[in-house]
Amino acid sequence: GAVVSQHPSRVICKSGTSVKIECRSLDFQATTMFWYRQFPKQSLMLMATSNEGSKATYEQGVEKDKFLINHASLTLSTLTVTSAHPEDSSFYICSASSGTGITAFFGQGTRLTVV
Amino acid sequence: AQSVTQPDIHITVSEGASLELRCNYSYGATPYLFWYVQSPGQGLQLLLKYFSGDTLVQGIKGFEAEFKRSQSSFNLRKPSVHWSDAAEYFCAVSISTGNQFYFGTGTSLTVIP
């Protein structure tokens, strides 16, 4: 299957700083990318959907000014957690779709810890 | 709004025993259905998916799932569980456009010797 790479896999940052997570589709063009958040021992919740070259669409309750999503190319989307707070500590997973089918491929996730 | 229910939060089975993980969905039409497995600290691995056609689908690692429209269910089964199957299992649905997924709350599987 297609490969989606997320980087970094694990990051620790200080409160108040920003951290960027990258999601890359390695062998296909991802017209749409999705960002999910997973709290410990809970399910994955969709945060936002991004289409290449367009502004991301955020789910209700997700602060768009805090979670900045950029999808500037067909192979890269980034999630920037701004002014990070300990409550932002979570597991973030992206998925990417070429749009030609209905199967999206998931990255391996990023464990964010804000101290 | 669509929703996915996994009634069992945690299941413990003996190695070699059979397994069934339940999944029910709520959606106006038949969605696309998926089962994913997640090992601790890892991403998601697709086990199998149902789009249309034969309601019994085969997946990787010896898993299968059966779609039952009348029950709005998509239960995952494995005839003989291996210790390496211990993980978190998520049922998910996707609507026909957008490819966004809605996940169930997950079932944690423990396998005992």
Along the 115 residues of chain A, how does pLDDT read in single tens digits?
Answer: 678 999 999 999 999 999 999 999 998 888 889 999 988 778 889 999 998 888 899 999 999 999 999 998 999 999 999 999 999 999 999 998 887 565 778 898 999 999 9
Q: Which two tokens stand for residue B25?
A: 């969905």
Q: Which of B99, B103, B104 sits opposite A104 (nearest CB)?
A: B99
Beta-bridged to residue A112, according to DSSP, are: A11, A90
A68 contacts chain B (CB < 8 A): no
Nearest chain A alpha carbon to B32: A102
CB A57 within 8 A of CB A70: no
